[in-house]
Each structure stands twice: as structure tokens, then as C-alpha cells.
Amino acid sequence: MNKLIKGNIKLVGAGPGDPELITIKGIKAIQQATYILYDALIHKDLLDYNKRAIKIYVGKRAGLHSILQRDISLKMVTLASQGERVVRLKGGDVFVFGRANEELEMAQNAKIDTEVIPGISSFSGIAARHKIPLTQRGVAESFWVTTGTTSRGTVSKDILPAAKSSATVIVFMGLGNIGEIVSIFKRYKPLNYPVAVISNGTLPNEKTLLSDLEQIELQVNENEIEAPAMLIFGPIVKSSIVQFKNQIHQIPAFI
């Protein structure tokens, strides 16, 4: 009797964008894979760590046709069931807006061996790159991380309590609803409340903008800031020097 070849699935966090910000363990997983299913925000240099593996693009981008999540999970399970070593390569960390739990559930139901390799989350990695401390004694004691847009296209209900808080607020996928998000913050914060917007964080085509609630929507449009972008609300962003097109954007003093 032939021994059954046992495949596996590894969910790998690739970090915020810069290919040098992946972990060594993540690189080793890529090198050992026979199949790599990768997202839209994955830097192509990461795929060069394994020339032999078959690469399958399964990215999702707003406004573009994308593969259904169930079909991605099913593809992974099918390949692993055939003895393949499958890496699911995701931007940031796999458990921050990565839908990794859905992929793990299907794999575990099929009794496929699985492993999760954490990555630097985009919210912390991008903020750190710009010297933005998400917490600071006497300024911000905590932070929120929330999506700006739900699967239905509406603004997340968590934006409202976040805007009421004194915490630093990081919003993913919020550019399309920036007008509504800013209007919620304006109910509870002054017009000169600081906001940073970082598009394509840690990548060569990164664009960054430091503004306030009064000007941010206008400046995003004027400077043609595009998704994927991360919004950071709070006085903590003034702790950094955030540059856009090599120019420092100053905002009024915040008290």
C-alpha cells in the first residue's frame, strides 16, 4: 500500500507592504511551499523566494471582480488534500481583517494540518514607520482599530463610539466613506483635531498627508490620495513628521 502524501496549509502574514518586513519564519514557509495563494497587497518580491512553487492570485480589490472567499478556502483544502504544501500569503497580519478564521475553519473541518505564521500588522507597522506612537503617556492611553466600510458598503457602527473616545483611532478601508466618517468625528471633536492619511504604506509609491477634520476630505481629493489607505485620528499623529510629496503639511496647533 502506498503511503498517503500529507499536505498542509500555512497562513502567512506578509507585513504592511515593504517586502523586508516579513518574518524569517514567513520566508521559510514560502520557500517550502508547492502552491502560494497570494493577496492583492503582496509585494511581488516575496514570491521570488520560491521560483518553483505555483502562484495563484486570489486578491480582492474594491470595484474589481474577485474570487469568492469560499472558493479560495476550497481551493486551499483541495490542494492540501492532494498532498501539496499550501501557503496562503496575506498582507499585514492574518487575523486583522484577513478572514483567516474562515479559511482555518474549512481546513480543520477537512482535517488538514494547519499553521498560522503571524505578520506585522499594517496598523502598527505603518504607524511605526512614520514615528507615530499609537499610545503615549498623557496623550493617548489606548487605540481603536476598525474598518471604515462593512461588507455591505456602509460605515462601521464602531466608528461612532470610537469618535467619542479619547483613544487614537485607526481606520482601514475608510477612504470611500471618508466624508461620513469625518462628519461623525466632527460631532465630538474640534475642527482642528489631527488626522493622518497614509496610502500604500511602506511602499515606494506611498503617499502621506497630515491634516485636520476641517480640511482632510478636501486635501485627500486635491492630492488624489487613493486606496489602500489607512486613516489615523488623534493628537498623537502630531508627534511625527509626516511628509507628502516631500512637503510637510502643517495643521493648526491642537490643544
Question: Directed axis angle between helix 100-109 and helix 69-81, to 10°?
Answer: 40
Q: Is 39 a catalytic residue?
A: yes
Closest CA to 13 of 91, 82, 103, 108: 91
**Catalytic site residue from 10, 18, 39, 93:** 39
Dihedral sign from CA coordinates of 23, 110, 60, 49: positive
Write down the H helix ranges in 112-201.
122-129, 159-164, 178-186
Backbone φ and ψ of 13, nearest 5°: -85, 125
Q: Is 164 a catalytic residue?
A: no
Q: How far apart are CA 34 and CA 144, in angstroms?
A: 38
**Catalytic site residue from 28, 60, 75, 186:** 60
Residue 204, classed as helix, strand or coil, is coil
Q: How far apart are CA 92 and CA 89, in angstroms?
A: 10
- Hey, which residues are catalytic here? 39, 60
